[in-house]
Each structure stands twice: as structure tokens, then as C-alpha cells.
Amino acid sequence: MIDELKVYLGETADNFTDAQIGLALKFALAEIEAYTKRTLDYELEVAALQIAKIKLLRLDTEGLAATGFNGVSETYIDGYPDEIKALLNRKRKIKVV
């Protein structure tokens, strides 16, 4: 999956080491398994790639809400995009008491 993530990142992959890419993917996989309480299927693997990409692109900018300099500003999304949240919620195993 690391090679797939590198392809998904495109030229941006050159900004990260293999260790960083692997660790972001490992964190994403663990996060998905903990949230859904399921083993990964293809859809969840794709979501893991998307989450790992987000994690890598946010590296060293955690907590940045906005910044501005000389007419240029940056704003970051809080959390994950709605399509990832919807997939994870759809796949989540609910515990009935």
C-alpha cells in the first residue's frame, strides 16, 4: 500500500521519506480499524490511503487554523472530508446492548 500512497501523492511524495509515508499509513489503518471495529476491506483501504494523504499533507501544520502573509492566506479543513466520514460511519460496526 505504500507504493499506492506514493502514486496517490504524486510529486508531493518526494517531500516525505518512506518511513513517514509508512507511519502515516499505519496510523490511518489503526484509526479506521478502531473506529469501525472491522477488518479492512477494499473500501476501507481506499479510505486509509485518503486519510494517510491528509495526515502527510498536514504534517508540521497541526492546529493551524489560518495564516496570512502579504495577501496570501491558508486555511485547513478541520477533521476529514464528508465522503470519508460517510464511508466510515456506513462501515462502522455498532454494538447493541
In a domain, 59, yes or no: yes
Using 50, 70 and 90 to split pLDDT, how confident is the model at 27? very high
Written as nine digits, the cell of 89 is: 460511519
pLDDT in tens, 29-86: 999 999 999 999 999 999 999 999 999 988 866 555 555 566 665 555 567 888 999 9
In a domain, 11, yes or no: yes
In a domain, 96, yes or no: no
In a domain, 70, yes or no: yes
Query: CB–CB of 91/38 below 8 Å?
Result: yes
Written as nine digits, the cell of 71 is: 495577501
pLDDT (0 to 100) of residue 97: 75
Q: How many domains does the chain have?
A: 1
pLDDT (0 to 100) of residue 7: 93
In a domain, 64, yes or no: yes
pLDDT (0 to 100) of residue 59: 81
Smallest CA-to-CA distance from 29 within 17, 14, 41 is with 41
In a domain, 15, yes or no: yes
33: containing domain:
2-91
Query: CB–CB of 5/22 below 8 Å?
Result: no
